[in-house]
């Protein structure tokens, strides 16, 4: 018992010290913060600039918020009490505020009782640069890269040493490179010709702007060196622009491949000119939109489910068209063309009546939004990248079906010689149905892909039907490899021609090219083999 009595005073003393320690620390932090904020409320702008530098180097975790609110004009001081507050909302009379030291709710204060800490344009620039420097100390590497990129062209003399300290301690090579370029721009502005070597090859617009200004320097050596560096950068930009054009052309070509590959199969097997093929694409796109209506807020899941759903909807529609119209018009291509054109008009009007004549927007999932930045002069949009990959996957699956399954063997047999295939016991009618369903289903997949690139509307398929026929004829009727090569080629050619010829003239040029090509090679790039082709 006596031991307990002896220990108790020590325990109480320890508890008292532990309780007072956070309070003392909080009071010290409050006092330091009050002093820093009071230095901001100085009568001269030079003194305010010094106060901003003091806040930056203070290491206070509240510095970022203080400087941000000062830049936005929301850091203010109560006239009577001297209390610093942050205005949350500007109202007609009373403003809701929080305490600038604790960030706790401080109720409302009259606008007449508050004094805003004024800043000029020079201080605004200093604050923007200071905020960027503070962001260089965050843990997120992407945020540090963005902050370093913002400093390009914004570095002044007081920031040089802090940035050098950041470079010395920075682990990420990209952040170091950007900061070194930011310092090099500052050195170039001071007339240092050696700084140009650190800026060579950069595709950043602010670096190009700094070099462009340096070409007008009074020092001829600086002007010549800047001109040479700028010329090299412009050449790199042209190369990147060409790669971007190639990428957009391939993405457009992948859409053409998806739209035409099903047409190539049905046209090759049945010899049917299906003018309703575009509406099968449209049905696939509307299926994607409908899945998003069934699964609101889940665009990723809706898109994944739309792939089999779009295939099935378009395939069933294709079977219905084949059984109700096309089977009665075999061997009469002109009548088939007119009949399927009428079917396309019926499907368009059906969609307008049942759904709406207005275009519908399909939301892309988050993992398909944004772009993949290769460098500062070239970025690849993710939705087009996924569509390109999706087209190649569909093509590979279709090749496996055609090469590794019984249906594929029968389709190839009927394509090469229909009469001989019948004599060998192949049920050509069944093959026609399955082929038309397969080709229509692939058209539905094309619609799923297109929904991620453009709005969904009743006329969606009409924009691709003519291009699809050109791809089929150019590549070779019934040849999948020919469809792939022709689709990608025409996509790239269109993308190259459009910037200087315009969309309409570019299509005319492509059409003339295909006509001349067919005169030389009537069977396309990859001609069909077999007795039917020879005939």
Extents of the domains making up the chain: 239-358+382-529
- Cα–Cα distance, 172 to 456 (Å, whole number): 43
- Token pair, residue 32, equals 């330091």
Contact 384, 248 (CB under 8 A): yes
Contact 410, 431 (CB under 8 A): yes
Query: Distance of alpha carbon 523 from its chain centroid, rounded?
Result: 39
How many CB atoms sit inside 10 A of residue 489's CB? 19
Residue showing tokens 């990723």: 300
- Cα–Cα distance, 163 to 453 (Å, whole number): 42
pLDDT tens string 343-397: 999 999 999 998 888 888 888 888 888 888 887 788 888 888 999 999 999 999 9
Q: What pLDDT is recorded for position 23?
A: 52
Higher pLDDT, 133 or 83: 83
The CB-side HSE value for 53 (13 A sphere, CA atoms) comes to 13
Q: What pLDDT is recorded for position 194?
A: 87
Contact 101, 26 (CB under 8 A): no
Q: Tell if the pTM clears 0.75, that is, is over it.
A: no
- Cα–Cα distance, 302 to 362 (Å, whole number): 10
Query: Distance of alpha carbon 429 from its chain centroid, rounded?
Result: 46
Q: Identify the band that residue 30 occupies on the pLDDT scale cut at 50, 70 and 90.
A: low
Say which CATH topology domain 239-358+382-529 has: ABC transporter involved in vitamin B12 uptake, BtuC (1.10.3470)
pLDDT tens string 53-85: 788 777 677 887 888 888 888 888 888 888 888
Q: Identify the band that residue 316 occupies on the pLDDT scale cut at 50, 70 and 90.
A: very high
Higher pLDDT, 465 or 285: 285
- Cα–Cα distance, 342 to 335 (Å, whole number): 11
Q: What pLDDT is recorded for position 478?
A: 65
> If 0-12 CB within 10 Å is exposed, 13-18 middle and 19+ buried, where does residue 485 land?
buried
Least confident interval from 28-37, 229-238, 247-256, 500-509:
28-37
Please measure the distance between the N-terminal and C-terminal CA atoms of the chain and give it in whole angstroms: 116
- Token pair, residue 80, equals 């009577």
Q: Is the pLDDT of residue 14 over 60?
A: no
């Amino acid at each position: 018992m006596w031991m307990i009595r002896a220990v108790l005073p020590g325990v109480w003393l320890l508890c008292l010290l532990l309780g007072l320690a956070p309070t003392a620390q909080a009071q010290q932090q409050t006092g330091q913060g009050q002093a820093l904020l009071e230095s901001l409320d100085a009568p001269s702008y030079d003194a305010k600039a010094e106060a901003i530098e003091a806040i930056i180097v203070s290491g206070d975790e509240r510095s970022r918020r203080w400087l941000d609110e000062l830049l936005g004009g929301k850091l203010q001081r109560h006239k009577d009490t001297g209390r610093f507050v942050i205005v949350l909302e500007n109202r007609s009379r009373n403003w809701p505020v929080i305490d600038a030291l604790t960030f706790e709710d401080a109720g409302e204060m009259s606008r007449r009782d508050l004094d805003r800490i004024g800043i000029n344009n020079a201080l605004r620039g200093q604050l923007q640069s200071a905020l960027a420097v503070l962001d260089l100390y965050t843990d997120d590497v992407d945020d540090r890269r963005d902050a370093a990129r913002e400093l390009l062209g914004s570095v002044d003399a007081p920031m040089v040493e802090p940035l050098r300290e950041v470079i010395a301690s920075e682990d990420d090579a990209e952040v170091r490179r950007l900061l070194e370029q930011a310092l090099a721009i500052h050195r170039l502005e001071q007339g240092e010709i050696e700084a140009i070597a650190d800026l060579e090859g950069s595709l950043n617009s602010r670096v190009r702007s700094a070099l462009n200004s340096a070409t007008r320097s009074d020092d001829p050596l600086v002007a010549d060196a800047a001109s040479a560096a700028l010329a090299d950068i412009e050449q790199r930009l042209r190369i990147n622009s060409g790669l971007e054009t190639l990428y957009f052309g391939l993405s457009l070509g992948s859409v053409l491949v998806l739209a035409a590959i099903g047409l190539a199969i049905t046209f090759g097997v049945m010899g049917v000119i299906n003018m309703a093929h575009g509406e099968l694409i449209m049905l696939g796109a509307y299926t994607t939109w409908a899945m998003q209506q069934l699964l609101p807020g889940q665009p990723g899941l809706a898109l994944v489910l739309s792939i089999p759903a779009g295939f099935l909807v378009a395939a069933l529609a294709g079977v219905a068209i084949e059984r109700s119209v096309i089977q009665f018009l075999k061997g009469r291509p002109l009548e088939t063309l007119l009949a399927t054109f009428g079917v396309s008009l019926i499907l368009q009007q059906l969609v307008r009546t049942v759904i709406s004549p207005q275009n519908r927007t399909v939301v892309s999932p988050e993992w398909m939004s944004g772009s993949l930045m290769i460098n500062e002069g070239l970025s690849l949009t993710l939705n087009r990248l996924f569509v390109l990959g999706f087209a190649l996957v569909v093509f590979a699956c279709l090749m496996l079906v055609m090469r590794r399954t019984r249906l594929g063997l029968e389709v190839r047999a009927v394509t090469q010689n229909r009469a001989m295939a019948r004599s060998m016991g192949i049920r050509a009618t069944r093959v026609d149905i399955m082929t038309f369903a397969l080709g229509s289903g692939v058209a539905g997949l094309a619609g799923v892909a297109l929904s991620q690139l453009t709005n969904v509307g009743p006329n969606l398929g009409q924009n691709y039907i003519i291009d699809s026929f050109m791809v089929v004829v150019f590549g070779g009727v019934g040849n999948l490899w020919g469809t792939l090569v022709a689709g990608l080629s025409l996509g790239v050619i269109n993308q190259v021609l459009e910037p200087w010829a315009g969309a309409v003239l570019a299509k005319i040029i492509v059409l003339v090219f295909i006509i001349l090509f067919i005169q030389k090679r009537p069977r396309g790039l990859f001609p069909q083999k077999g007795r039917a082709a020879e005939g």
